[in-house]
Structure formats: C-alpha cells, structure tokens
Chains A and B, each alone.
Chain A
Amino acid sequence: NAGVTQTPKFQVLKTGQSMTLQCAQDMNHNSMYWYRQDPGMGLRLIYYSASEGTTDKGEVPNGYNVSRLNKREFSLRLESAAPSQTSVYFCASRPLGGQGRTDTQYFGPGTRLTVL
C-alpha cells in the first residue's frame, strides 16, 4: 500500500494564480483531511470530509475549496493564491468506525507551497 499520496511535492505560485493540490489514499479510509502547517507552528485544519459525499470547514477555511471526488481522493483548491497561503499542506485520512486503537489519522508527505 502506498498509504496517503500527495501531488505536487513542491509548488511556487504568483499572487492571484490558482492551483489544486491532489491527495489520494489506498487504505479504504472513510475520512480525509487537509491541514496547513506554518514554520514552527502546529497543524491547523482547513477542511475535512467525514465520508464520501460530505465536506466541512475546519478552523482556517477562507481562501480554499475542497472536493471529495470519491472515497480515495480529496483535493484542495486555492482559487486566488495569496502570500499568506505560503505553507506546508498535509493531507490525512482516518478509517473511522474501525478498531479504536488504530482509528486515527495517517498523513501524506506534504506539499510545500510558496506564493510570491
């Protein structure tokens, strides 16, 4: 299993450009999440999808949109990038409803985004 994969690994955008970050998981997990992590800071939840067909806002959703394309894929779109969106973006997935001791989040390797 590849686990959680993210593309691209690195991206540089100019202010105002748009882009979509891709995330896919092959663990048959129900829930998927997008976080951002700024230097020296903790994780902040942008959006999540508890199950296929549903999405909900996290604590920092402004400037982002998401699509749960199917059970495997959850994309994050920046419609008009701003320098404040320079960050590392992590996607995660979680089984949900499974055995409690393993029912937690598993992360992808991240996308490092710089907005000039």
Chain B
Amino acid sequence: RKEVEQDPGPFNVPEGATVAFNCTYSNSASQSFFWYRQDCRKEPKLLMSVYSSGNEDGRFTAQLNRASQYISLLIRDSKLSDSATYLCVVNLNTGGFKTIFGAGTRLFVKA
C-alpha cells in the first residue's frame, strides 16, 4: 500500500464547476500536510498548507482529518488555468525529514 494515495483521475470538468480531490495517508508519523500544483513539464509548486482546522485561500479550501488520515482539496468556480496535476504531500516526523509525495490527480477544466 502506498503511503500517500490519491485518485489518479483525470478529472474533466467544465469551467465554473466545483471539484474535490481526496488523499489518504497511512504513516502515523505524518506531521504536516500540503497541496502542490504541477503544470505540464514544470516543477511542482506549493499551493497551500493544510491545517486541522481547515483553511481557505480564495477559491481553494483544504481540509485535514487526522483521525481518518484523510486530506481534501476543494476548488470552487474552476478556471481554465486550474488545469494541472494536484499533488498531496505529507512531511513525516521522523529522522531524515522525509517527505512523501502522492502520485497526483490530473485536472482538466474545459470551456
């Protein structure tokens, strides 16, 4: 079983739609959580941190459920420019400062 699992997609949605990405993690040493965005042939870029209380940044809302070991990302009012791969990322509280990257969920937003 992978330590961080995401739905591989792809998700194909029309502009203006709301789309949700889910992620589960299995390592109990998981300490901090993030969503990254990766455009085609570009480097991954930090989208937002994920807090237990939930957090929002404009059209993006992230949630963390530590009891269920589950992370989510909600995108409201999708734009064409949101088309990308979204990576779920977990930092472990272990020696070596390990970071686990999910394989990513591909999103296509169409006009």
Q: Which residues of A contact B (CB under 8 A)?
A: 31, 33, 41-43, 48, 50, 56, 88, 90, 94, 96, 100-110
Contacts and interface: CB of A to CB of B under 8 A. Distances in A.
A87 B32 CA distance: 29
Contact of B99 (A101, A102, A105, A108): A105
B43 A31 contact: no
A94 B32 contact: no
B42 A43 contact: no
A42 B46 CA distance: 16
Interface string B75-109: 00000000000010101000011010111100000
Contacts of B46: 104, 106
Given A100-B32, A101-B32, A107 B44 contact: yes
Given A42-B104, A94-B97, A103 B43 contact: no
B49 interface: yes
B45 interface: yes
A104 B44 CA distance: 12
Given A42-B103, A90-B44, A100-B32, 15 more contacts: A42-B87, A42-B104, A48-B96, A50-B97, A88-B41, A94-B97, A103-B32, A104-B46, A104-B89, A105-B89, A106-B46, A107-B44, A108-B43, A109-B43, A110-B43
B96 A50 contact: yes
Interface in B23-78: 31-32, 34, 41-46, 49, 51
B44 A42 contact: no
A43 B44 contact: yes
16 contacts: A41-B103, A42-B101, A48-B96, A50-B97, A56-B96, A88-B41, A101-B51, A102-B49, A103-B91, A104-B32, A104-B34, A104-B49, A104-B89, A109-B42, A109-B43, A110-B43
Contacts of B34: 104
Nearest to A112: B41
B25 to A, nearest CB: 14
A33 B31 CA distance: 19
